[in-house]
Each structure stands twice: as structure tokens, then as C-alpha cells.
Amino acid sequence: MPMHEVKLKEAKVRLAELIDEAAFGEEVVIVRSDGTAFKIVPISKTEPYPEFGSAKGLIEMSEDFDEPPRTV
């Protein structure tokens, strides 16, 4: 994974571009004038919601699923 180091002043102007680079796997490091460094890291992508009907055929119910339970 290549590393891209940018000074804070330049990062202010190119932030959107640097975020895109980090999203595509490039390691982006922003360095302040005092030498402190910060890395832009993607946290996580949102998981998609299941689509309606996506479990079709995966769930089986017995013929008597809606009958009252038997008491012993």
C-alpha cells in the first residue's frame, strides 16, 4: 500500500481528493507544521439492507405452523 504524505496547508485545499485516495486503499498522512502526523483511514462502509424477497426459498415452515400448540 503506497503512502502519500501531505502538509496540512495542502490538505485543506485537497481534502476531498485525499479522502478518495484513502477510500481506494492509499495510505494518506497529513503532517502539521510541528511535525505531528495524522492518517486518513476509512472507518467502514454501511452494510446494505436486505432486499425484499432476498430470502425467498431459504425459509421453510411446517404445514401446521399456525396450529395452537399441543398441551401435555
The answer to the question of residue 66 being in a domain is: no
| Residue 67 forms part of a structural domain | no
**Closest to 20 (Cα-Cα) out of 37, 7, 38, 4:** 4
Q: Is 32 inside a domain boundary?
A: yes
pLDDT for the residue 65 = 85
Three cell numbers at 71? Answer: 398441551
Return the pLDDT at 1: 54
Please choose, from the candidates 1, 48, 8, 59, the residue with its C-alpha nearest in 3D space to the C-alpha of residue 26.
Answer: 1
58 found inside a domain = no
The model's pTM is 0.56
Residues in the chain where the model's pLDDT stays below 50: none
Q: Is residue 65 part of a domain?
A: no
Specify the CATH number for the domain of residue 21.
Answer: 3.40.1620.10
Which pLDDT score, from 0 to 100, does residue 2 have? 61
What is the count of structural domains for the chain?
A: 1
Domain range holding 12?
3-40
Q: Residue 69: what pLDDT?
A: 83
Given this model, what pLDDT does residue 49 score? 78
The pLDDT value given to residue 70: 81
Per-residue model confidence (pLDDT) at position 42: 87
